Amino acid sequence: MRKGSRGLALACVMMMAPLLAGCGLASSSSPPSEQQAARTPASPGEREGTAPAEQQSAPVTPASSARAAVERFADGYMNWSYNTLASDQQRLAASAVGEARASELQARQQTERDTALRRGRVFNSGTVVTASLVTGSADVFACVTREQTGGEGEYAALAAAYHVALATVQRVPGGWAVSAWRPEL
């Protein structure tokens, strides 16, 4: 990609993120938990009931602002290597609440069994381009990142790409935490 077109692409992504989020991406986020529980029966094999205390506790270090919570979570979510991923996911879980915490704890368990990550020496790195509050929302942010995945074999020649995630935040004792993280693009 030529240098001028890369700058144009970045400018377009930054301008479009809030618009995309305000024009429909937000509609793909989950309804409040009461509505979702009423609509969605438990999956076969899953137990009904309350989440374990580990998933319900407050985050270890809340962020000072909602945007800071999103940016910090995004940074931890996208910067990892095959040999740090499980511990990175544990740290992310400790910084989050609700669905985001549960997802990271579950991902950590799967990572520990994933031999393809180790075999491919897979890593991911990136930066937050922008995190903007979705129009009409008080707690949902559109977060745009630029990420590079690499490693050996099939992971060696992957191109960097922009990604968009919707992040829901929640006020917690001492600050803010991400309560849901939904990669969209």
Inform me whether the pLDDT recorded for 33 exceeds 50: no
47 in any annotated domain: no
pLDDT-based confidence at residue 136 (cuts at 50, 70, 90): very high
The per-residue pLDDT for 171 is 95
Burial of 36 (0-12, 13-18, 19+ CB in 10 A): exposed
pLDDT in tens, 64-88: 999 999 999 999 999 999 999 999 9
The per-residue pLDDT for 180 is 97
CATH of the domain at 84: 3.10.450.230
33 in a structural domain: no
Q: Which of 97, 111, 88 is nearest to 181 (CA)?
A: 97
| Average model confidence (pLDDT) across the chain | 79
What confidence category does residue 157 fall into, taking pLDDT thresholds of 50, 70 and 90?
confident
For the segment 3-25, what is each residue's pLDDT rounded down to a tens digit? 444 444 444 444 444 444 444 44
Residue 126 in domain: yes
Distance CA 148, CA 131 (A): 19
Which range among 41-45, 57-61, 123-127 has the greatest average pLDDT?
123-127
- Say yes or no to pLDDT of 167 above 80: yes
Cβ neighbours of residue 149 closer than 8 Å, sequence gap 6 or more: 122, 123, 124, 155, 158
42: in domain: no
Task: Give CA angle at 28 (98, 38), nearest 5°.
Answer: 60
Does residue 35 lie within any of the structural domains? no
For 156-176, give the DSSP string: TTPPPEEEEEEEEEEEETTEE
| Total structural domains within the chain | 1
In this predicted structure, the answer to whether residue 146 has a pLDDT above a threshold of 80 is: yes
Q: Which two tokens stand for residue 132?
A: 């903007």
What was the pLDDT predicted at 185?
A: 65
- Please report whether residue 74 resides in a domain: yes
Which of residues 12 and 62 earns the better pLDDT score?
62
Q: What is the pLDDT of residue 61?
A: 85
Closest CA to 143 of 101, 100, 172: 100
State yes or no: pLDDT of 105 exceeds 60. yes
Classify residue 141: in a domain, yes or no.
yes
Mean pLDDT of 160-168: 97
Please report where in the chains the tokens 């995004």 appear, as a residue: 74
* Residue range(s) defining the domain that contains residue 94: 3-26+62-183
Quote the CA–CA distance of 162 and 185 in Å, as a whole number: 8
- Kindly state whether residue 90 falls inside one of the protein's structural domains: yes
